[in-house]
């Protein structure tokens, strides 16, 4: 998993509440067995018309949001079923940071496990960011080490995050990576166990 220490990126807005995981990645695309390739199906029912052409009215299809890596959205983002594919699709599309007033718990946890930083901010700060993000090319710098969000115009917003999750993102560790940090101890245990079984 790629570490996230400081990230500067273009901000895209999704001005909707209660965006559920079936909208993030519709169920018909859950048949894939690998984690990659889901970005093309992100928000599929909103991004595309019935004939498969891009829907020009959908926010992420606007030219000014192409290449965005920070998603600004509203309350209860990621609600619905507990599919990890939602985090996979967002990451594969290019998002590394999501800013919202609140997240669904399971989705929030899945973000950290997949290298995405979900940041909860007060609604008033989210409203201000929505106003500023109307400008073309609006970018933010998210500094995980300092737990700060900055722009090029003097904005400075602090944010809180669980210290353990913060450290995992800084080091680029998922659950498997954490386990592998103890590989020597695990190997030693397995060797001792094998000897005991031979003796027994």
Domain harbouring 39, CATH code: 3.20.19.10
Q: What is the number of other CB atoms lying within 10 angstroms of the CB of residue 53?
A: 8
Residue 94 vs residues 71, 87, 134: alpha-carbon distances, Å:
10, 11, 20
pLDDT of residue 182: 44
Let me know if residue 91 belongs to a domain.
Answer: yes
Q: For residues 92 and 144, give the distance between their C-alpha atoms in angstroms, rounded to a whole number.
A: 21
Check: pTM over 0.85? Answer yes or no.
Answer: yes
State how beta strands 139-143 and 6-14 pair. antiparallel
From the number of C-beta atoms within 10 Å of its C-beta (0-12, 13-18, 19+), residue 136 rates as: exposed
The pLDDT > 90 percentage for the chain reads: 80
Instruction: Report whether pLDDT(179) > 50.
Output: no
Instruction: Report whether pLDDT(67) > 50.
Output: yes
Let me know if residue 186 belongs to a domain.
Answer: no
- Position 116 confidence tier, pLDDT thresholds 50, 70, 90: very high
pLDDT of residue 190: 63
Question: 76 lies in which domain range?
Answer: 6-172
Q: For residues 147 and 143, give the distance between their C-alpha atoms in angstroms, rounded to a whole number.
A: 6
Let me know if residue 184 belongs to a domain.
Answer: no
- Position 186 confidence tier, pLDDT thresholds 50, 70, 90: low
Instruction: Report whether pLDDT(184) > 70.
Output: no
Q: Chain-wide mean pLDDT for the chain?
A: 91
Let me know if residue 124 belongs to a domain.
Answer: yes
Instruction: Report whether pLDDT(83) > 60.
Output: yes
**Least confident residue range of 9-13, 86-90, 193-197:** 193-197
Q: Structural domain tally of the chain?
A: 1
Instruction: Report whether pLDDT(175) > 70.
Output: no
Query: What are the tokens at 23?
Result: 């909208």
Residues 85-96: what's their mean pLDDT?
Answer: 97
**Least confident residue range of 27-36, 117-126, 145-154:** 27-36
pLDDT of residue 187: 59
Instruction: Report whether pLDDT(177) > 60.
Output: no
Q: For residues 60 and 66, give the distance between their C-alpha atoms in angstroms, rounded to a whole number.
A: 7
Q: Which residues contact 13 (CB under 8 A, 6 or more apart)?
A: 59, 65, 71, 72, 73, 130, 133, 134
Let me know if residue 103 belongs to a domain.
Answer: yes
Let me know if residue 77 belongs to a domain.
Answer: yes
Let me know if residue 195 belongs to a domain.
Answer: no
Residue 67 vs residues 9, 22, 101, 188: alpha-carbon distances, Å:
9, 23, 23, 47
Let me know if residue 183 belongs to a domain.
Answer: no
Q: For residues 122 and 147, give the distance between their C-alpha atoms in angstroms, rounded to a whole number.
A: 15
DSSP summary character for residue 65: G
Phi then psi for residue 82, to 5 deg, are -90, 55
């Amino acid at each position: 998993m790629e570490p996230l220490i400081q990230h500067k990126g273009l901000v895209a807005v999704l001005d909707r509440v209660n965006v559920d995981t079936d909208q993030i990645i519709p169920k018909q695309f859950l048949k894939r067995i690998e984690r990659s390739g889901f970005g093309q199906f992100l928000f599929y029912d909103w991004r595309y018309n019935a004939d498969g052409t891009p829907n020009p009215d959908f926010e992420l299809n606007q030219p000014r949001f192409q290449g965005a890596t920070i998603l600004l959205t509203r309350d209860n983002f990621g609600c619905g079923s507990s599919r990890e594919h939602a985090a996979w699709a967002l990451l594969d599309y290019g998002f590394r940071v999501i800013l919202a007033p609140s997240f669904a718990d399971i989705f929030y946890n899945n973000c950290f496990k997949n290298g995405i930083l979900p940041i909860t901010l007060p609604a008033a700060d989210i409203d201000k960011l929505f106003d500023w993000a109307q400008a073309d090319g609006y970018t933010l710098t998210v500094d995980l080490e300092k737990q700060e969000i900055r722009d090029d115009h003097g904005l400075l917003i602090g944010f809180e995050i669980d210290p353990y999750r913060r450290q995992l993102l800084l080091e680029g560790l998922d659950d498997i990576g954490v386990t592998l940090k103890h590989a020597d101890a695990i190997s030693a245990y397995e060797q001792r166990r094998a000897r005991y079984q031979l003796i027994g």
